[in-house]
Amino acid sequence: MEHTNDIPDAPDLSSIHVPVMLERTLELLAPALERPDAVLVDATLGMGGHALAVLDRFPGLELVGIDRDQDALGIAAARLARFADRIHLVHAVYDDIETVLDGLGLRDVAGILFDLGVSSLQLDRTERGFSYSKDAPLDMRMDASTPVTAEQILAEYSESELRRIFTKYGEEKLAGRYAKHIVAAREQNRLVTSAQLVALLDSATPAAVRRAGHPAKRVFQALRIEVNRELAVLERAIPSAIDRLSVGGRIVVLSYQSLEDRIVKHALAEGATSTAPRGLPVELPEHRPVLKLLVRGAERATDEDISTNPRSAPVRLRAAERIRRAA
């Protein structure tokens, strides 16, 4: 974990797309962020799109921006430069949220935002290897300083381990078939590019299945999740975030696939449920829920959101407010 002000070669900042469900996110966070001395943690800062809008909208707000991607942090630093006296940008993974806040001397915060999944920067930079539609090295690391790449996983995991991650993280019905073909192919040549992997998956996919969608999509998702330990990180991060919310503080989470959303749904539902033993005639104060859910189920992007930013199509938004301090 480190603070950063480095700015890599950045894309044209004026051309960066509008963040996903921006207005709805601001609407949900507003009651918490309008307080004097409010602090918002943007736990997945990315290129700073949500952060820029929040800092513009709430002139008294202090922002803590966390990201594991050094390139994204550098671009965000450039975009947010005029707010330098109100921001703290930290290189860390978002399950380190408590360590980050402790390091800044902050106990409770008014708001926390998670915009999960792979970022536009990671998708658009071909050399990062996240997209199955562009040939690139099989990297897929969100933090380039970490050691494990997708190429290494494909070369070293056993057939059963590959089948497990394709099933668990990609919900891929042909997981066993793909794992078997990968292990057979690597005995001849190591898989080092996305084009090699896509060609292998395509040849291993029955024609009828191929017509139902690109055969590489779920395998690439599974590899990315495994490389970055995304679900394990998320399972630790959401409870930690809830713990650091002040009473009246709000959390908003944007998920892009069902595995992420399931983790978020369960964590927020647990906080919004009484812990009183069944049959207890009176609910004691310490058993009352600590959260109030702010949306019914998961909200989806509107047609307008999707037309503005097509990558918002799969998003699921959940939000909650802290209503009491835990015992």
E strand residue ranges, 43-135 = 62-67, 87-91, 109-115
E strand residue ranges, 191-260 = 245-255
Total length of the chain = 327
Q: Determine whether the annotation assigns residue 157 to a binding site.
A: no
Phi-psi region of 298 (alpha: psi -120 to 50; beta: other; left: phi over 0): beta
- Tokens of residue 84, six digits: 């330098």
Q: Determine whether the annotation assigns residue 67 to a binding site.
A: yes
Q: In this structure, how many other beta carbons lie within 10 angstroms of the beta carbon of residue 227?
A: 24
b/e code 185-198 from CB counts within 10 Å (16+ = b) = beeeeebbebebbb
Alpha-carbon torsion, ordered 203, 209, 213, 216, to 10 deg = -40
**Are β-strands 245-255 and 109-115 bridged in parallel, bridged antiparallel, or unpaired?**
parallel
CA distance between the termini of the chain = 30
Contact (CB, 8 A) for 33 and 111? yes
Q: Determine whether the annotation assigns residue 85 to a binding site.
A: no
C-alpha Rg value of the chain to the nearest Å: 21
Q: Determine whether the annotation assigns residue 169 to a binding site.
A: no
Q: Determine whether the annotation assigns residue 48 to a binding site.
A: yes
Please count the CA atoms within 13 angstroms of the CA of 18 that sit on its side-chain side. Answer: 13
Residue 235: which of 211, 270, 283 has the closest Cα? 270
- DSSP class per residue in 10-60: ---GGGSPPPTTHHHHHHHHHHHHTSTT-EEEETT-TTSHHHHHHHHH-TT
Residues comprising the binding site for S-adenosyl-L-methionine? 48-50, 67, 94, 115, 122
Residues comprising the binding site? 48-50, 67, 94, 115, 122
